[in-house]
Every structure is written in C-alpha cells, then in structure tokens.
Amino acid sequence: MDDDLPRPKGDAASKLAGEDLSPYSVDELDERVAMLKAEIARVEAHRDKSAAHRAAADALFGRKSSS
C-alpha cells in the first residue's frame, strides 16, 4: 500500500470537524481542546518517526523513482 495516497474521507478527524459544538459547556470545550492538542502531539511524533524511518530507508536503498 502506498503511504503517499490520501486517506478516505470520513475518518475520525473529519467527523470531529463537522460536529456541532453548541451543546458543549465551556469546561467540556476546554477538555476537548486539551485532548485534541494531545492527539496532535501524538500524530506529529508519529509523523516525525515515520519520516526519519523513511529517510533512513532512502539513504540505505536509494530513493524510488517516480516513474
């Protein structure tokens, strides 16, 4: 599977982005923001780890051509 292909629409982040926030209290929104910031940090750490792994593989085996 090609890691560069976009993920299908409808993933968890897309569903969160479309959710109505009006029922939430300020405290609930603060909790949600904290949880989302933690998730962003987790995703960024995974992205950085994946990029380093890919760079190491490219250095070892050479970069694949686009054609």
Predicted confidence at residue 11, as pLDDT, reads 84
* DSSP label of 11: -
Q: Is the pLDDT of residue 7 over 70?
A: no
Predicted confidence at residue 33, as pLDDT, reads 97
CB 19 within 8 A of CB 29: no
49: confidence class by pLDDT, cuts 50, 70, 90: very high
Q: Residue 4 class from Cβ within 10 Å (0-12 exposed, 13-18 middle, 19+ buried)? A: exposed
Q: Is the pLDDT of residue 38 over 60?
A: yes
Predicted confidence at residue 62, as pLDDT, reads 83
Higher pLDDT residue, 9 or 55?
55
Predicted confidence at residue 56, as pLDDT, reads 93
CB 54 within 8 A of CB 63: no
Cα(38)–Cα(29) distance, rounded to whole angstroms? 14
